A and B are shown apart, each in its own frame.
Chain A
Amino acid sequence: MSKPIDKQKILFLDGAMGTMLQKSGMPAGKKPEELNIESPKLLESIHRQYLEAGAHIVYANTFGASPLKMKESSVPFDKAIEAAVKNAKKAAVPFGGLVALDIGPLGELLEPMGSLSFEEAYDNFAAIVKAGADAGADLIVIETMSDLYEAKAALLAAKENSDLEVWVTMSFEADGRTFTGCTIESMAMTLEGLGADVIGLNCSAGPDQMAPLLKRLVQCTSLPVAAKPNAGLPDPVTGAYDMDPGQFAASLKECLDAGVSIIGGCCGTTPEFISQIHQEYKDHPVQKHPGRIAGVCSPSHATLMDSVRVIGERINPTGKKRFQQALLEEDLDYIVSVGLSQQEAGADILDVNVGFPGVDEADMLPKVVKALQAAVDIPLQLDSSDPSALEKALRIYNGKPSINSVNGTLKSRRAILPLAAKYGAAVVGLTIDEQGIPSDAARRVSIAALLKESCKEYGIPSGDLWIDPLSLTVSAQQSQASASLQALEQITRELELATVLGVSNISFGLPNRPLLNQTFLVQALQAGLKLPIMNPNQKEMMDALAAFKTLSGQDPQCQAYVERFANQAGAPAKTAASQSPHTLQEAIAKGLKSEASKIAAELLKTQKELDLVENDLIPALDLVGQEYESGKAFLPQLLSAAGAAQAVFEVLKTSLAQKGESKISKGTIVMATVQGDIHDIGKNIVKTVLENYGYTILDLGKDVAPEKIVEAVEENQIRLVGLSALMTTTLPSMEKTVRMLRALKNPPKIMVGGAVVTPQYAKDIEADYYSKDANQGVAIAREVFGS
């Protein structure tokens, strides 16, 4: 490990590089990193001016020197980095100054917003880090990040490919979020957990606008905090920033007083700005600030440990046939829908367990995590006993997750705790050891104490250890309920650790389970339980929790309680399905989702699933489809009916899964929005409608390479492919895809559609069908599959 940088005194960074290069006459659109080789003296002189002004650390001119950004430049990225560090070193050494390898965003959006994968981003950053470390950089600064996921990829790459200090600064807007919606709390938790040495903010605003955000940041971290604001805001007419060095320095005082200890400047600042802040603050004391906050997070949502938090337990195949089927079929949409419904019901964290015979967890857990984090906002708890599955999921998780679980055995502690430490995750500790589950409270408490000690050894803060004293089925061992509660109470009070408890197992094998679960939940909460693991979709449980929070003063002014129940009194009793005024066909055609699924459930008592599809579902959709064709119904009505049909289909799928019967499928269709195209609402409309007619859709998503489509077609022996394109610029990739598909030995039929596609164009590129809308898609599918 390189020598740590002394942070006992205020550290000064340099100011803007771009501003200085523009002043020297660099033309718009020029890659600044090319100047490292073309004009080394210019770069050296800019660095020297900043060092003379008082900067301790200068950033080498490597902000955009990535393989991605420089792929079309005549200068290779690593040569640009080597020259940049050399130029900066030449200037810094006489001053005893340090040179930072400066890493900016890659300029392409990461998945799921964009198409750059986390792994590709990591590889880019790793290459930059290796080049910078080889060139002799003294530290690494990752800056101007607005996507927490990209910041994580860069930070991991820096830590795994060098032994230098790594600092990370992100760019926030005045509303306290980055462009991608990341919050200050999420940034602090995630980056400190992953081992950044300094965190902070740079660019996007002046020091006055940045001050409230910096104050929030110092409250969330134990790390030194850096600030590199702009020289105020730019004037759109002149392009000049509106602060002078005096104003800039004055505005920074508030930040230093709050605990910021590393300062410099971003866009619009010059050596005069650095000189001014150096003169004013070189003797300013470094203010202490509070340590890190306990909790877990996604980029947009931090779940803090300041109140009872619900961990949703439904993403778990145990005892759920429909979920098992979805796992085996890799039906990620279904799993995501289970996550969304728990979030909707009030879960604060989602437990994610995909362990099932026939499922490769190391492959499936990261896939499910990627799908979930693209849709749900609350943080995830990675639940697996397979350390390799956990590590893969921890790597690609966007935010700070928790792990379920470690236990008191040496084997488990050695396998799991290093992972929690490296990836900065919270971890659930089960009170089990080599002897199994203790029957008394005292031994559970002592295992918890052992886990606390082990975490300390691995550098995991005690706030990140959540103890599960385990609840057992009361019908089998009645005394165990009170043992769990007693342990819970002692762990909370004596060890000052947060506790987790699964509250649904307790009632297994007994009648009226909800009553027992509800009562046990309240008992456990009273004993200090922080994180109940439960089904948030069970209304009684969430009701009990709302009542507890109100009675224990965790719901200020009873606000949440009133909101929850105010609208329930006097609500009309739900109509029983048997009293429904509609037939199934009518309910679907009118788009009445919940009514349609209730009627379907009722009809299933006397009819078979496939009969319902043929006799009710499809005729209803046909009816709406005909009305749409003739201009009597419109797209929203067609889609409402499709939505109701979808709900009915879900009822049928669950019923089939429970009986262990195979699903309804009239044929499988591959659908994709072609490469380069990111607007896929049109394709999704067609998909929704086709699914409701009983076709299985293999949805490859948007921006899909022709090769990937061909691969899917060959692998699954597909007979019909649907391609969509929205822009004229992406038509060539549609044409290429069609060409490649037609060259196959057994080519599938191809239908094309989308805003820019015309019947003539479809003919020109030799597609088999032009589909103007979802309805026509159904007609084509019927023709191809003969039903």
Chain B
Amino acid sequence: MNLSLDDALFYAGIPKLLWDEYRPRMESLYQNARPLLQERAFWRVYSLQKSPQGCYIPDLDMHLPGQSARTMLEGCSHVVILAATIGASFDRKLSVCQKTDMARAVLLDGLGSAAVESVCDELEKTIQQALGPHVFLSDRFSCGYGDLPLSLQQELFAKLPVSRHTGIHVLPSFMMNPSKSVTAFIGVSSHPLPARIRGCAFCSMKESCRLRKEGKSCVKTH
């Protein structure tokens, strides 16, 4: 896994001025947690249609309603649906750590977030490789981004064998278990696509995001 320790420190909420102090600790935590990381990924490609509500995947009879999906998938003929996780053993470790050493648990939590991001990044490379060099991929975006409803998560799990291939479950609250899991969409086009992730102003979580409360953003700017 090509994990960035700086990402891990960032997700753990460590202020940048302490990164040098905390990096060795994060590194040793990573080496320790490595055997627990069970990376699993799933992806499928579907053809895409425009619809009055937004976008439509005929094979799944699935609508991606709203302006966000329409913008993100502008000029795309297909869409990739992906899911990735670092598995249940990590969650178990994280919950034990919260009982024994809370300071360490906060670092471990950040490490898990960075690890699943890294799995997604790797997966994106695999997808690009599988689809060939003449295909262009859009930015990755998830349910809850902009006006793409979070509730779409439920439909995605009902119509695709995500749980069987990755062990990820979705709860009635649309949270995923294991907690360090991601589902996302990526547009596929025969033309180059502009970067469209617009940061907080565009996100439906902006009122309640922890990172934003701390004056940060999940769009990597560090």
Task: Identify the A interface with B (CB < 8 A).
Answer: 27-29, 107-109, 112-114, 144, 146, 171, 173, 175, 177-181, 203-204, 236-237, 239, 300, 333, 336-337, 340, 374-375, 591, 634-636, 639-640, 642-643, 676-681, 684-685, 688, 726-730, 755-758, 772
Contact with A along B153-177 (1 / 0, CB 8 A): 0010011100110110101111101
Residue of A nearest to B36 (CB): A181
CB-CB contacts of B32-75 with A at 8 A, as 1s and 0s?
00000010100111000000000000011110000000000000
Q: A300-B89, A728-B205 are in contact. List 19 more A-B contacts (CB 8 A).
A: A28-B59, A28-B61, A29-B60, A108-B169, A109-B177, A113-B178, A114-B169, A114-B177, A179-B88, A204-B164, A340-B99, A340-B100, A374-B92, A374-B95, A375-B96, A676-B173, A677-B175, A755-B210, A758-B207
B117 within 8 A of A: no
Is B88 in contact with A113, judged by CB distance below 8 angstroms?
Answer: yes
A203 to B167, CA, bound (A): 13
In the complex, the chain A residue whose C-beta lies closest to that of B214 is A635
* In the complex, the 4 A-B pairs of residues with the closest C-beta atoms, listed nearest first: A179-B167, A756-B208, A639-B103, A676-B173
In the complex, which residues of chain A have a beta carbon less than 8 angstroms from the beta carbon of B163? 107
Given A29-B159, A634-B15, A728:B208 Cβ within 8 A: yes
| A681:B105 contact, CB within 8 angstroms | yes
CB of B87 closer than 8 Å to a CB of A? yes
Q: Is B98 an interface residue (CB 8 A)?
A: yes
Task: Check if A239 sits within 8 Å of B167, measured CB to CB.
Answer: no
List residues of chain A with CB within 8 A of the CB of B107: 636
- Which residue of A is nearest B151, CB measured? A729
Contact A678 B171 (CB under 8 A): yes
In the bound assembly, the distance between CA atoms of A758 and B205 in angstroms comes to 12
B106→A237 contact, CB < 8 A: no
What's the nearest-Cβ distance from chain A to residue B77, in Å?
Answer: 13
Expressed in whole angstroms, the Cα–Cα distance for A337 and B40 within the complex equals: 31
Judging by beta carbons under 8 Å apart, are A237 and B89 in contact? no
Contact of A28 among B60, B89, B109, B175 (CB under 8 A): B60
Within 8 A of A (CB), among B155-213: 155, 158-160, 163-164, 166-167, 169, 171-175, 177-179, 205, 207-210, 213
| In the complex, chain A residues whose CB is within 8 Å of the CB of B179 | 678-679
- Whether A729 contacts B173 by the Cβ 8 Å rule is yes
Given A678-B171, A727-B175, A636 contacting B106 (CB threshold 8 A): yes
Distance of A636 from chain B, by nearest CB (Å):
5
Is there an interface contact between A591 and B103, defined as CB atoms closer than 8 Å?
A: yes
Per the bound structure, the CA–CA distance linking A74 and B42 in Å amounts to 31
Q: Chain A CB within 10 Å — which of B18, B44, B103 has the most? A: B103
In B121-155, which residues have CB < 8 Å from any A CB?
127, 130-131, 150, 155
Verify B99–A375 contact, CB threshold 8 A: yes
Residue in A closest to B42 when the chains form the complex, CB atoms: A236
Least distance between A197 CB and chain B CB atoms (Å): 25
Q: List 13 A-B contacts (CB under 8 A).
A: A27-B61, A113-B92, A236-B44, A239-B44, A340-B99, A635-B106, A639-B102, A681-B109, A728-B205, A729-B175, A755-B210, A755-B213, A756-B208
Q: Which residues of A contact B59 (CB under 8 A)?
A: 28
CB-CB < 8 A to A203: which residues of B?
A: 164
Inter-subunit contact A727/B174 (CB<8 Å): yes
Docked-complex contact B106 and A681, CB < 8 angstroms: yes
Q: How far is the CA of A128 from the CA of B182 in the complex (A)?
A: 33
CB distance from A566 to the nearest CB of B (A): 18
User: Contacts A175-B38, A239-B44, A636-B107 hold; do A642 and B102 have CB atoms under 8 A apart?
Assistant: yes
* Interface presence of B91 (CB below 8 A): yes
Residues of A within 8 A of B208 (CB): 728, 755-758
Q: Are B102 and A337 in contact (CB under 8 A)?
A: no
Interface centre among B14, B88, B102, B150 (most CB of A within 10 A): B102
Contact B103 A677 (CB under 8 A): no
B102, A684: Cβ atoms closer than 8 Å? yes
